[in-house]
Amino acid sequence: MRGRAAEIDDPSALDWEVVWEALKTEPPADSPGTITQELGLGEERELSQTTTEMDATEFSGTRNGREVALRMGVVPSAWRDRGAVEVQVQAPVVPFQLREDDGRLIAQPGAPSEVEEFLAGLAPAPDVWRDVEVEGGPNGILARRPIKMKANPQGYVYDLWLVERLADRLGA
């Protein structure tokens, strides 16, 4: 599956390790600088935050010609003290919003038809999509989910697949 993420129509039936392998774009390194090096996210930095005293970690790089960032431990101002994991692809798109509802990703009114068609092909998967929120716009596509005890700790792997497939669909 290595490097074949674009061939996956719906990752919800796959273990996160399979999706992780499919997302790899870089060859293994003898001494990788980050755990995400093979994903093309070889830059790691600590992020200070105004919403909490805790630092977050960002892994970033270029994937498929687009800048991508994975942020762990971010505390969005609207969420107060709840930490989150974010995946962002810098690919300007028509504005849209998605949210999870009973394991299914649902587009909010006004989403482009390409988004609706794409979501129709995804099976309900509460363990994969639980609590994820996605928004697209001129700054790219951002998937965010809270860090929770009952959440999938590798949910960001599915989120990376999702934001890249949405960017592909929307021609970004």
Q: What is the pTM of this model?
A: 0.91
Paired strand residues for 71 = 58, 86
d(CA 62, CA 26): 11
For residue 126, pLDDT over 70 is answered with yes
Mean pLDDT of 103-123: 96
Q: How far apart are CA 135 and CA 94, in angstroms?
A: 10
Which is more confidently placed, 12 or 50? 12
Q: Are strands 66-74 and 96-101 parallel, antiparallel or unpaired?
A: unpaired
pLDDT of 81 reads: 66
For residue 51, what pLDDT band results from cuts at 50, 70 and 90? low
The answer to whether 38 touches 26, Cβ cutoff 8 Å, is yes
Residue 75 vs residue 165, higher pLDDT = 165
Please list, in sequence order, all residues whose beta carbon lies within 8 angstroms of the beta carbon of residue 38, skipping any fewer than 6 positions away: 24, 25, 26, 27, 28, 29, 32
Q: Angle formed by the axes of helices 16-23 and 155-169, to 10°?
A: 50
Helices H / strands E in the chain, number of each: 4, 8
Q: What is the pLDDT of residue 56?
A: 86
Percent of the chain's residues with pLDDT above 70: 92
